[in-house]
Amino acid sequence: MEFLSAAIDVTNLRYHLSVVTFLPLVGALFLTFIHRKRERELKATAFFFSLITFVASLPILFEFQSGGGAGFSLVEEVAWIPAFNIKYIMGVDGISVFLVLLTTFLSPIVMLSSTSNVHHKVKEYFIAMLVLQTGLIGSFCALDLFLFYVFFELMLIPMYLLIGVWGSDEIERREAALKFFVYTLVGSLLMFLAVLYVAHEAGTFDIRLLPEACRNLSSTAQYVCFGAFMLSFAIKTPVFPFHTWLPQAHTEAPTGGSVVLAGVMLKLGTYGMLRFAIPFFPEPAVALSGAISVLAVIGIIYGSMMALAQDDLKKMIAYSSVAHMGFIVLGLFSFNLIAVQGALLQNINHGLSTGLLFLLVGVIYERRHTRIFAEFGGIAKVMPKFAVLFMIATLSSIGLPGTNGFVGEFLILLGTFGGMPNGDWTWTTGSTLAVFAASGVVLGAVYMLWGYQRVFFGEITVKENKNLRDVTPLEMSFALPVVVLIFFIGLNPTPLLTRTEPAVKATIENARASAAQRMEAVAHK
Amino acid sequence: MLLAEANTPVTDWIYTLVFMAVFVTTLMAGLWVVIARDVIRAGVSLFICLSGVAGIYFFLNAQFLAVVQIMVYVGGTTVLILFGVMLTNRAPVLTSRRATDRTLAGWLATVIVAAPLFVILVGRDLMEKKDVKTANGWFTMKEAAAQAPINTVALGDALLTSYILPFEIASLVLLVALVGSAYLARRREDESGIEGRLS
Amino acid sequence: MLLEAAETATNALQGVVGLPQESYRALAGIIGNDTLSYFAPELVICVAMLLVLLVDVSDKLRSPRNLMLVALVALAAPALMILGKWGGEALFFYPAWGNLAQYSNLEGHISLQPDSHMLVFDGFANFFKVFVLASGLITLGMIHLDKGTPRRSLGEMLTLLLGSVLGMMLLASATNLLMIYLSIEFMSLASFILVAFKRRDRKGTEGALKYMLFGAVSSGVMIYGISLLYGMAGTLDIALIGQRLAQVNDPLAIAMALMMVTVGFGYKMSIAPMHFWAPDAYEGAPTPVTAFLSVASKAAGFAVFIRFIDAMSAQSTGNALPIINWVSFVAVIGAVTMTVGNLTAIWQPNVKRMLAYSSIAHAGYLMIGAAVVAAGGEIGGEAGARIADVGGSATAFYLVAYCLMNFGAFAVVQVVANETGRDDMNAFDGLFKRNPTLAVVMAILLLSLLGIPPTFGFIGKARLFMAGLEAAQAGYPIMTVLLVIAAVNTTVSCYYYFRLIRGMFITPGEAATANRPLIVSNTGWLMAGGSAVLTLALFVAGSFFIGPADEARLKRRPHLEGAAMPQHDQGHVEVKRGDGSKG
């Protein structure tokens, strides 16, 4: 305990975010010194490090609260490569703070769940997980574009290995892993060129200065760079039609990998849009918002339809992710405070609900080694507690009032429905999109509930299902915190929304103002 | 300065005629080296070709180079090649297989490389009938012959002053070549065992 | 800090070896030329070459250890000597040896220009010399690691290695086409034999033969180009040629000549379409030689190529080479090279061949830097020189990263080959199980070759891309296209790097050996592990090599008096020969 309090003490000092970011990496280093046969110690150490990372990250919330405002808190700044003005800058604001916390919150849960369902190469699994965590936290905290890119890419390798080594199917997983890697790399390399270009033009990699500095870019440059950034984030999110890597990767990844992938990694895409693509290049962002929103809506409906057609539980949830992320993108590109707030909240919600769903699928997969609907049926009778947990996750995913999903989706639809007050986005387009998106909500309810029905209700048709063990205390211990948060946010989202509001407001209003200014300037010419 | 001083129309005419003869012989012999299927014949053609090149050097008034050419290439290299061919093969006549599948590609490459060179080197003089020497710095052959003060003394001077460094480096190149060829040609029995570990 | 340390070390070394700088100067004073002192590092290697041969024939001294020691000193001492003078004044080596030069200065003769120089000792040359020497040192380590090298032939191998290094050093500072040609022949000749060093190996012989045939053809083409340049400019000094070509109104001839000379350099850099020799030679050669060729030989090729294009595009802006736009030319061959290298590498069943094609692809990436130099040269003036320097130092910087990761990767290949006797892809299957650390080391090096964080290769690539953007900014949109092609190519390359990573981590190894641990010697750890650790460390300390790479600046000569075209009137030329008393 002494060590813990000491750690928190340190984190209250200047390098709070760095400590949170690199604690998992330290843990990974620690693990390398433990013999691979001592699995218990390995698991305990990994869990311990992710837990103290979570504990250490909690003060960020309070520190952030006291900081308030739209600016960044807990900023650290150290020169890294002075010749190119590349710095090591970390900091959080309303947009990133909850994503950081979501990451640190989900990590111990993932570690805990992995203790029961990882059986080979345990040491390497946890090392990969911890490195992945550092990459994730780092990308959310980085305030230097170069540094962001480094963290952004840092996640690829551990995720590749997680899918490729610990994936479920011998042959499929290799393909899925490579596909995941190549897709992400294609996008991110083009973004890297754009990053270098933007930084070269602006003379800085500092994210705090770049929105201003990017004003000087020509329209063409803005459009090209926006395209490069958006391509990368659209693949990551994923936005239709760049989603094809996702179902495969999700299905093949081990439970822990799926949770991190769906829970946190996809959010990097939407985070990147709000943090980089929109404020840096407001003109193309506003001008192309219609097209992107249409893609998002297509994604919502397409994802829902595909989810409906799946015969594999995990694949269904994977496609539901495509639909949910579509909602978030729709919210972001409505340029409406309510919708963007909702999108940001939905980021967290989707992380929680889909994370929980994947965890629970892992639980049942552990027992039956299958995820095909036909193999189940009547599970509720033998695993009542499990059925309740799954129901909560399902309802949260559908967006039932009282759960977190409702708040997010409602805000997004509400904001979109209103349309952009002063943009070229009329009320009609906004409402049309919102109506189509809302149909996605209905479809979501259909496939989720139908899926639930097929798994849990009816007669037990398969013999193996008769003797299934219900949720163990360990499994309960990692599912419950998520459940608590689902209801907490569902019933009282205000603490989150008030904290995100200043930053979101500043970002959206700046972007809109600057876009309008530029368009006017073009019109005058 | 022998050939360059000949400036009357008649000598000029003879000069051109002899040059063309040497030139055509060299070219034909060079071509024959490539297309001959009998290696011995190819070797003999190479002999003629290299001699022709020496002749061209004479026309350029580079007598020293011409002599070197004859000594090194004609006298040395070609004879060596012929010896090599004769000693290493039991068959009285060695024929090489012609790679027919690459003929088209070969001709294509030849044309692509040769056409611009032809335009650069010959075309201008022949077609434009223009004195190009000051425009682009080319020397006409006669001009070069008239101008070059090359003789062995000057050559020696140059080699031991301005070009002393390349001259010395060339000796190192020869050393490396010597070591290398000695290694490659050494008897093979020494490779049987690995003697002693390093360090 | 590094430089200070190096300087201290140099001074100490000079004290020990007994070669204080003053004595050079004194010696040079006697000869009448103090530029000779700049040539001292090369002289050390010359002496060492002979020393290795002597040690090799002496019954008493002959032992692998002694031979290695001589080679070690022969490579380390010159590197330290150069480092000690790093950033010093650049001088031109022109052996105008006292009165002799005056005596023989034949006025009116085009081959002897007063401003013609053989070698130049500038920051750029110094950087590449140290680079080549360091590569040589690493190669020594690799030879030490290699179980396949016949120990009896170590003397020859080291002599040839030193000869090759010397050739590369000369190439790095050569500023005269004759010198360039000679240096290329020098290093090639040594390399041919090194490739064929496993004499019984059919692959080695085949590779060496292809290497030599390609070398012969390309140097033939190159010397033809040189003769054209000489015909147009009347000098062999590249700076002078560059300046005089501006007055030559024959674009076709210039284009042909420059392209033909580039063929000679391209062969050394393994640029498409002059790359066909590389895979066979790399596969057949002993692994240390392969690593040496793929790094040092390529670096030397780039050094001379960059010097050449800088000189050729400088000050010829006026009527600039209308047919051959250097930037487009270099960009196009760069794009073709990286694409060919990457696409072909995907299908290779042999790791050495795969790395060979990967090194071709890397030559393509390095061409970005060369294209920036060309752009800088075309722009001209102060601004152009700055951009050209950015391109040169970006290339130099990337080469450092490339050197680390490529040598490391080859060291791992060597370690695995020592154990399994194989170097095909399947030999790496299940490596993680047999030796997890080695697999991780190899993965780090491959990721660095791929160029993604957190590796030094990523910083190198970023530096190269930034330089490319600089040129794109300066009005060369083709650079943007080249960079996009490079980015796409990087993605393509992840297919084959990941094939190996997948083999090591995911594919189970062959049943017979799957569980047998793979033993790695200390040298193996030093070579492979060391480069992997450095690859990571230099990512964190990203700016460590930026300073030295920035020092790699070309010394440009101001517009020369002799640059004007020599006037050769028809007919009479007075040949004046000075004598000793004159001047």
Q: What is the pLDDT of residues C84-114, one digit of tens each?
A: 664 444 444 444 333 233 333 333 233 344 5
The single residue listed with the structure tokens 């003797």 is A467
- In a domain? residue A448: yes
Quote the number of domains for chain A. Answer: 1
**How confident is the model at residue C131, as a pLDDT?**
92
- In a domain? residue C510: yes
Query: pLDDT above 70 covers what percent of chain C?
Result: 80
- In a domain? residue C357: yes
Lowest mean pLDDT among A13-22, C3-12, C511-520: C3-12
- In a domain? residue A74: no
**How confident is the model at residue B87, as a pLDDT?**
78
* Dist CA C439 CA C412 (whole Å): 9
The three-state secondary structure class of C61 is coil
Higher pLDDT, A513 or C102: A513
DSSP letters for A420-477? -SSSS--HHHHHHHHHHHHHHHHHHHHHHHHHHHHHHSS---SGGGGG-----HHHHH
Q: How confident is the model at residue C583 (pLDDT cuts 50, 70, 90)?
A: very low
Residue B192 has pLDDT above 50, yes or no: no
**How confident is the model at residue C20, as a pLDDT?**
45
Residue A9 has pLDDT above 60, yes or no: no
The boundaries of the domain holding residue C431 are 325-557
* Dist CA B20 CA B15 (whole Å): 9
- In a domain? residue A292: yes
- In a domain? residue C338: yes
Interchain pair B166, C118: CB under 8 A: yes
- In a domain? residue B44: yes
Tally Cβ neighbours within 10 Å of residue C168. 31
**How confident is the model at residue B52, as a pLDDT?**
92
**How confident is the model at residue A339, as a pLDDT?**
87
Quote the number of domains for chain B. Answer: 3
Burial A384-397 (b: 16+ CB within 10 A, else e): eebbebbebbbbbb
C496, closest residue in chain A (CA to CA):
A178
**How confident is the model at residue A3, as a pLDDT?**
56
Residue C116 DSSP class: -
Angle between helices A245-252 and A172-202 (to 10 degrees): 130
Interface test with A, best of C346, C491, C496, C499 (most A CBs within 10 A): C491
Residues B82, B117 within the same domain: no
Among C182, C248, C568, beta carbon nearest to B136: C248
Q: How confident is the model at residue B97 (pLDDT cuts 50, 70, 90)?
A: low
Q: What pairing do the DSSP bridges indicate for beta strands A86-92 and A73-81?
A: antiparallel
ipTM comes to 0.88
* Dist CA C298 CA C129 (whole Å): 13
* Dist CA C83 CA A275 (whole Å): 46
Lowest mean pLDDT among B66-75, B186-195, C535-544: B186-195
Q: Mind listing the pLDDT tens digit for each residue in C15-34? A: 444 444 555 455 545 544 45
Provide mean pLDDT across the span C462-475.
Answer: 89
Residues B73, B11 within the same domain: yes
- In a domain? residue C51: no
Interface test with C, best of B141, B172, B188 (most C CBs within 10 A): B172
Lowest mean pLDDT among A18-27, A103-112, A365-374, C217-226: A365-374
* Dist CA A404 CA A487 (whole Å): 6
Residue A1 has pLDDT above 60, yes or no: no
Residue A41 has pLDDT above 70, yes or no: yes
Residue C251 has pLDDT above 90, yes or no: no
- Cβ–Cβ contact C72 with A under 8 A: no
Of the ranges B96-100, C365-369, C512-516, the best mean pLDDT one: C365-369
Provide mean pLDDT across the span C545-560.
Answer: 74
Q: In angstroms, what separates the C-alpha of C32 from chain A's closest C-alpha?
A: 42
Among C466, C498, C547, beta carbon nearest to A196: C466
CATH number of the domain where residue B80 is located: 1.20.120.1200
- In a domain? residue B142: yes
Q: Mind listing the pLDDT tens digit for each residue in A219-272? A: 888 899 999 999 999 998 888 888 888 888 888 888 888 899 888 999 999 999
Q: Mind listing the pLDDT tens digit for each residue in B25-34? A: 999 999 888 8
**How confident is the model at residue A458, as a pLDDT?**
81
**How confident is the model at residue B153, as a pLDDT?**
73
- Cβ–Cβ contact C481 with A under 8 A: no
B171, closest residue in chain C (CA to CA):
C186
**How confident is the model at residue C476, as a pLDDT?**
84
**How confident is the model at residue B3, as a pLDDT?**
46
- In a domain? residue C371: yes
Residues B34, B106 within the same domain: no
A123, closest residue in chain C (CA to CA):
C436
* Dist CA C370 CA C310 (whole Å): 9
Q: Mind listing the pLDDT tens digit for each residue in A464-511? A: 777 778 888 888 888 889 999 888 988 888 888 888 888 888 888 888
- In a domain? residue A323: yes
Tally Cβ neighbours within 10 Å of residue A27. 25
Provide mean pLDDT across the span A149-159.
Answer: 90
- In a domain? residue A137: no
Residue A393 has pLDDT above 80, yes or no: yes
Among A81, A82, A193, beta carbon nearest to C487: A193
Q: Which residues of C touch B65 (CB under 8 A)?
A: none
Residues B77, B18 within the same domain: yes
- In a domain? residue B199: no
The single residue listed with the structure tokens 């004609």 is B74
Q: Tell me which H or E stretch contains A78.
A: strand A73-81
Q: What pairing do the DSSP bridges indicate for beta strands C91-93 and C119-121?
A: antiparallel
Q: Tell me which H or E stretch contains A76.
A: strand A73-81
- In a domain? residue A474: yes
Q: In angstroms, what separates the C-alpha of C512 from chain B's closest C-alpha?
A: 28
**Three-state secondary structure string covering A115-137:** HHHCCCCHHHHHHHHHHHHHHHH
Give the closest residue to A101 by CA, choosing from A59, A129, A164: A59
Which neighbouring-strand residues pair with C107?
A: C576
Give the closest residue to C328 by CA, choosing from C307, C303, C309: C309
Lowest mean pLDDT among A73-82, A93-102, C346-355: A73-82
- Cα angle A168, A233, A403 (rounded to 5 degrees) comes to 70
- In a domain? residue A2: no
The mean pLDDT of chain A is 85
- In a domain? residue C513: yes
**Can you give the pTM of this predicted structure?**
0.87
Higher pLDDT, A193 or C565: A193
Among A84, A186, A196, beta carbon nearest to C491: A186
The boundaries of the domain holding residue B25 are 1-97
- In a domain? residue C428: yes
User: What is the number of CB-based contacts under 8 A between chain B and chain C?
Assistant: 155
The boundaries of the domain holding residue A433 are 288-491
Can you read off the two tokens belonging to residue A192? Answer: 């890297």
Residues B112, B175 within the same domain: no
Interchain pair A200, C466: CB under 8 A: yes
**How confident is the model at residue C181, as a pLDDT?**
93
**How confident is the model at residue C306, as a pLDDT?**
92
Q: Mind listing the pLDDT tens digit for each residue in A395-434? A: 998 888 888 888 888 888 888 877 654 455 555 677 778 8
Q: Mind listing the pLDDT tens digit for each residue in A58-69? A: 888 877 765 556
Residues B72, B82 within the same domain: yes
Give the closest residue to B147 by CA, choosing from C113, C105, C235, C568: C568
C104, closest residue in chain B (CA to CA):
B157
Residue B83 has pLDDT above 90, yes or no: no
Q: In angstroms, what separates the C-alpha of C543 from chain A's closest C-alpha?
A: 5
**How confident is the model at residue B26, as a pLDDT?**
93
Query: pLDDT above 70 covers what percent of chain B?
Result: 65
Interchain pair C189, B119: CB under 8 A: no
Interchain pair C491, A182: CB under 8 A: yes
The mean pLDDT of chain C is 79
- In a domain? residue B197: no
- In a domain? residue B195: no
